[in-house]
Amino acid sequence: MKGEILKNYINGKWVDSRATKTRDVINPATGEILAQTPMGTKEDAEESIQAAKEAFWRWRTTPAQSRIRYLYELRDAFEENFDELAEVCTLEHGKTLDESRGEYRRTIESIEIATSIPSLQMGFNFEDVAMGIDEMMIKQPLGVFFCVAPFNFPAMVPAWFWPLAIATGNTYIVKPSDQCPITMVKQFEIIDELDFPKGIINLVHGGPDVVNTLIENPDTVGLSFVGSSKIGNLLYRKAGEVGKRVQVQGGAKNFITVMPDADLERTIPNLITSFYGNAGQRCLAGGVLLAVGEVYEPLKDKILDAAKKIKLGYGMDEDTQMGPLASKAGMDNVLKFIDKGIEEGAELILDGRNPKLDDNLINGSFIGPTIFDKVTPEMTIAKEEIFGPVIPIVKVNSLEEAIEIINKSRYGNASSIFTSSGKSARDYQYNVNAGNIGINIGVAAPIASFPFSGMKDSFKGDLHGQGKSGVDFFTEDKVVITRWF
Ligand code: NAD
């Protein structure tokens, strides 16, 4: 075997691969074997991951200004060794030295551009990138996009997408929830009255057959899905197989942390809205209440008092404060979670089952405000999305413990802290792995100019809905380089 076996560079050291197979690296101009590439193993990869994982925290906490100094140094070193680097490139690739030099010029430029990150001054349109050559980036619409929407916000969720999509020049199909489609029918009646140009926005009802067709048809460009993580993950894979753009906003389990220094009088109404608004059926709803230290007793008493005062009833009545679950199936699902909580040993201190209602509501899907005390993080009701008016209270000893629990969740949609300490709030926003963070805000819902973020099993894709990310999702970046003779 000719040529040396190349080594891995892990944790600042050259190390041998565990590979048993290698591949020749050949100078394509001469046929000479230059070296052997090890066809690395699982363990090689694990070794590098472990090293990177361990290095992460320190690198992350290094200020950006300091991080980029390494890039400046690298840039200088590349300049000093410029000719040699270009020669090696030519040897193994076969391109001319001038081409290799050009390639390295670009490599160095990429490093230089990255050094501007702290100032966030990465403009797009430049004159004279080289003498007499201008460069610009234009954003172009791509074609037909569609959304698959959930039942819980049947008017708002499709509007996270379609206005931006058509404003950027695409055409659109809304596939509303098959459970709550009339809201969109109403919107389309108004669209019809306004005489929109034909075909720019469309509505199609249905279930999996419609959705699968929308995904598989080669004439659609991309999909915005909002719904459960189970279906979202399925569609994410399907859409990926056929090369579609896809953003999947999935389910959630949002933790709300209350610190001992929180202003409880103002916190309680926020918590009530967060856990019981929309009868708990919102992806940004509070899912677990983490009571830190001595706030536990007063918080429990006050939230119990406030929850008991909520008026459950018919949504059409002006004085109703909480309506039913959106379906029987949804209600049955919540009831199963309540049973599970009891079975696993949590203490039901407010039981919303079989609430007393007016006679005209006895067939409704009602569950009243429900609270579980003595919940532990391992219990099902502390881990799974209940999507109903249930507060599981978990007592913790410190902010660090709260954050550790939150970051173990499979979800990462939203999380809020109630505190009067800037330090606690800052630690929270810095360390919690959730896409939308609330500080003394119980429902951390981004306004439309901001991306609707989300992490882990709450979001799949690269570009979030709304804001600049939304614009990017619905457009392609095209770079134009111009020289006029
Ligand atoms: P769901 O997943 O059951 O349905 C969502 C959509 O998918 C519907 O339009 C439905 O017709 C379609 N669908 C269902 N099964 C399908 C299949 N097999 N193939 C193709 N399409 C299918 O969700 P839901 O119950 O309507 O909504 C509740 C969920 O939505 C909750 O988990 C909630 O957290 C989530 N949600 C998330 C966000 C967010 O921004 N992350 C916002 C709102 C709701």
CATH number at residue 62: 3.40.605.10
Take atom 22 of ligand 1 and give the residue whose Cα is closest.
208
- Distance CA(255)–CA(409), nearest Å, equals 9
Same domain, 262 and 294: yes
- pLDDT in the model for residue 2: 62
Distance from the alpha carbon of residue 232 to the mean position of ligand 1, in angstroms = 7
- Separation of CA 427 and ligand 1 centre (Å): 33
Question: How many Å apart are CA 178 and CA 187, to the nearest integer?
Answer: 16
CB contact set of 367 (below 8 Å; sequence gap of 6+):
279, 324, 325, 331, 334, 335, 338, 352, 353, 355, 388, 389
Report the distance separating Cα 220 and Cα 211, nearest Å: 11
Q: Whose CA is nearest to atom 19 of ligand 1?
A: 208
Task: Give alpha helix (H) positions in 321-379.
Answer: 328-343
Q: Give, using CA atoms, the residue closest to atom 30 of ligand 1.
A: 227
Closest atom of ligand 1 to CA, residue 330: 25
Beta strands in 212-318 (DSSP E): 220-226, 245-249, 254-258, 286-292
286 C-alpha vs ligand 1 centroid, how far in Å? 19
Whose alpha carbon is nearest atom 18 of ligand 1?
208
From 177, 237, 282, 411, the mutation candidate for ligand 1 (largest count of ligand atoms within 8 A of CB) is 177
- The predicted pLDDT at position 121 comes to 35
Tell which atom from ligand 1 comes closest to the C-alpha of 459: 41
Q: What is the pLDDT of residue 123?
A: 45
In a domain, 432, yes or no: yes
| 452 in a structural domain | no
User: Residues of 183-221 as b/e, b for ≥16 C-beta within 10 angstroms?
Assistant: bbeebbeeeeeeeeeeeebbbeeeeeebbeebbeeeebb
- Asked if residue 1 belongs to a domain, the reply is no
Q: 243 with 378, same domain?
A: no
Asked whether residue 191 falls in the same domain as residue 268, the answer is no
- Same-domain status, 263 and 148: no
Q: How far apart are CA 120 and CA 108, in angstroms?
A: 19
In the structure, which protein residues have their CB atom closer than 6 angstroms to any atom of ligand 1?
148-153, 157, 175, 177-178, 207-208, 211, 226-228, 231, 235, 249-252, 283, 385, 387, 413, 452, 454, 458
Phi, psi of 477 (to 5 degrees): -85, 125
pLDDT of residue 334: 98
**Pair of tokens at residue 399:** 């902010």
Q: What is the pLDDT of residue 108?
A: 87
Pick the residue whose CA is nearest to atom 42 on ligand 1. Answer: 283
Domain match, 270 and 192 both? no
Position 391 scores a pLDDT of 98
Of 157, 175, 211, the one to substitute when testing ligand 1's pocket (max ligand atoms within 8 A of C-beta) is 211
Answer yes or no: is 447 within a domain: no
Can you tell me the distance from the alpha carbon of 9 to that of 140, in angstroms, rounded to the nearest whole number?
41
Q: Please give the distance, rounded to the nearest whole angstrom, from the Cα atom of residue 328 to the centre of ligand 1.
A: 16
Q: Ligand 1 centroid vs 229 CA: distance in angstroms?
A: 8
pLDDT tens, per residue, the chain with 485 residues:
467 998 888 988 888 999 999 988 877 878 789 887 879 888 988 888 888 788 777 877 877 678 778 878 889 988 999 998 988 887 787 787 888 788 888 888 877 877 776 554 344 666 677 778 888 888 888 999 999 999 999 989 998 998 888 888 888 999 999 998 988 878 888 888 887 788 888 988 998 999 999 999 999 999 999 999 999 999 999 999 999 999 999 999 999 999 999 999 999 999 999 999 999 999 999 999 999 999 999 999 999 999 999 999 998 889 999 999 999 899 999 999 999 999 999 999 999 999 999 999 988 999 999 999 999 999 999 999 999 999 999 999 999 999 999 999 999 999 999 999 999 999 999 999 999 999 999 999 998 888 999 999 999 999 999 988 888 899 998 889 999 99
Distances (CA, A) of 401 to 254, 366, 440: 16, 35, 19
Q: How far does residue 174's CA lie from ligand 1's centre (Å)? A: 14
Considering the domain architecture, whether residues 324 and 401 belong to the same structural domain is answered as yes
> Exposed (0-12), middle (13-18) or buried (19+): which is 20, by Cβ within 10 Å?
exposed
Rounded to the nearest angstrom, the distance between the alpha carbon of 231 and the centre of ligand 1 is 7
Task: Examine residue 445 and state whether it is found in any structural domain, yes or no.
Answer: no
Angle formed by the axes of helices 264-276 and 296-308, to 10°? Answer: 60
Residue indicated by tokens 């001319």: 96
Q: Residue for token digits 């361990």?
A: 54
Q: Specify whether the CB–CB gap between 67 and 131 falls below 8 A.
A: no
* pLDDT computed for residue 41 by the predictor: 83
Residue 122 forms part of a structural domain: yes
- Residue ID of nearest Cα to ligand 1 atom 12: 207
Q: Which atom of ligand 1 is nearest to the CA of 227?
A: 30
The residues that bridge with 245 in the sheet, in sequence order, are 222
Q: Look at the chain and report how many structural domains it folds into.
A: 2
* 245 and 342 belong to one structural domain: no
Reply yes or no on whether 147 is catalytic: no
Q: How remote is the C-alpha of 408 from its chain's centroid? A: 16
Residues 233 and 291 in one domain: no
Specify if 450 maps to a domain: no
| In a shared domain, residues 151 and 236 | yes
For residues 221 and 278, membership in a common domain is answered with no
Distance between alpha carbon 305 and the CA centroid of its chain, in Å?
35
Alpha helices in 81-150 (DSSP H): 82-93, 97-114
Range of the domain at 44: 8-250+458-483
Q: Return the residue whose CA atom lies nearest to atom 39 of ligand 1.
A: 249
Shortest-distance Cα residue to atom 16 of ligand 1? 208
Q: How would you class 53 by CB atoms within 10 Å of its CB: exposed for 0-12, middle for 13-18, buried for 19 or more? A: exposed
Residue whose C-alpha is closest to residue 455's, from 403, 415, 401, 427: 415
Query: Closest ligand 1 atom, CA of 206?
Result: 11
How far is ligand 1, taken at its centre, from the CA of residue 467, in Å? 22
The reply to whether 186 and 289 lie within a common domain is no
- Say whether both 242 and 343 belong to one domain: no
Residue 175 CA: nearest ligand 1 atom is 9
| φ/ψ bin of 57: left (φ > 0), alpha (ψ from -120 to 50), beta (otherwise) | alpha
Question: How much distance in Å is there from the Cα of 176 to the middle of ligand 1?
Answer: 10
CATH number assigned to the domain comprising residue 397: 3.40.309.10
Residue nearest to atom 43 of ligand 1 (CA): 283
Task: For residue 264, tell me if it sits in a domain.
Answer: yes
Please check whether residue 271 is in contact with residue 264, taking contact to mean a CB–CB distance below 8 angstroms. no
Q: Which two tokens stand for residue 463?
A: 């570009």
DSSP 8-state class, residue 20? S
Tell the residue number behind the tokens 């430049």, with chain if given.
126
Query: Among 212, 226, 331, which residue has the most ligand 1 atoms within 8 Å of its CB, making it the best to mutate?
Result: 226
How many CB atoms are located within 10 Å of the residue 345 CB? Answer: 10
Residues contacting 85, CB < 8 A, separation 6+: 78, 100, 104
pLDDT at residue number 93: 79
